[in-house]
Amino acid sequence: MKINTDIRLRSSAFICGLFLCLPVNAGKNPLDVFLDGLETFSADFEQRLLDSSGEVLETSKGTVQLRRPGMFSWLYREPYTQKIISDGKTLWIYEEDLEQVTISDASAAVQDTPALIFSGHYDIAEHYVINELENDAEYVWLELTPRNLEAQYRALRLAFSDNELSGMILFDSLGQTLLITFMNSRRNPELEREYFRFTPADNIDVIDARKTH
């Protein structure tokens, strides 16, 4: 079954925003506790994209690796293969079935996205309203709402268990919801910088969307 390309692009945009960087001034909250001393992070994930009525549009699985500041590798393995990789300056989105990679400036990709939440270059409280939600039996919840009324998403909720990030819920401006659950997470594993660069093979079409080449 062919995957809807628009869905892929929306999911890619969310992920680019979530993992490009890391914060410096979010006040004392569960996010600060998680980030204290964090240098690298890796986990398996399951992601579900829901429409406005709660119907599942797509379920996908893969792995994520993160290195401060600004480096990440988000690899989809099911139901298709896609790689979203950034070294903090350049962003690569590789579509295996299309034999195509799109290259863009990481700074442009984070504009007006949840990347500001994870950025070391911004005062997060200047851009987001931060609320600790009522905890349930399993998780501690934190909600961040963008102050910019024209943002592409309405809110981001983060779930923590034993001071570790367990999941995310992103509500976009179109009424869709992205649910991400992390499993087998590892804090501060050894991750080389080479993991966060992508070199396309000779047979791969390259779309270079950077401002300067």
Tell me the average pLDDT of the chain: 81
Who wins on pLDDT, 99 or 67? 99
Tokens of 62: 């893969």
Tokens of 198: 């992508």
Provide the β-strand partners of residue 169: 157, 179
| The pTM of the whole model exceeds 0.85 | no
Q: Write down the residue that tokens 């966060």 correspond to.
A: 196
Q: At 112, is the secondary structure helix, strand, or coil?
A: coil
Tell me the pLDDT band of 153, cut-offs 50, 70 and 90.
Answer: confident
What pLDDT does 55 receive?
Answer: 95
Do residues 198 and 75 make contact, with C-beta atoms less than 8 angstroms apart? no
Who wins on pLDDT, 1 or 213? 213
pLDDT digits (tens, 9 = 90+) for 80-90: 899 989 888 89
Q: What does the pLDDT average to over 69-77?
A: 87
Burial (CB count within 10 angstroms: exposed 0-12, middle 13-18, buried 19+), residue 21 = buried
Check pLDDT > 60 for residue 61.
yes
Do residues 94 and 82 make contact, with C-beta atoms less than 8 angstroms apart? yes
Indicate left, alpha or beta for 153 from its phi (over 0: left) and psi (-120 to 50: alpha). Answer: beta
What pLDDT does 6 receive?
Answer: 53
Check pLDDT > 90 for residue 191.
yes
Q: What does the pLDDT average to over 20-39?
A: 67
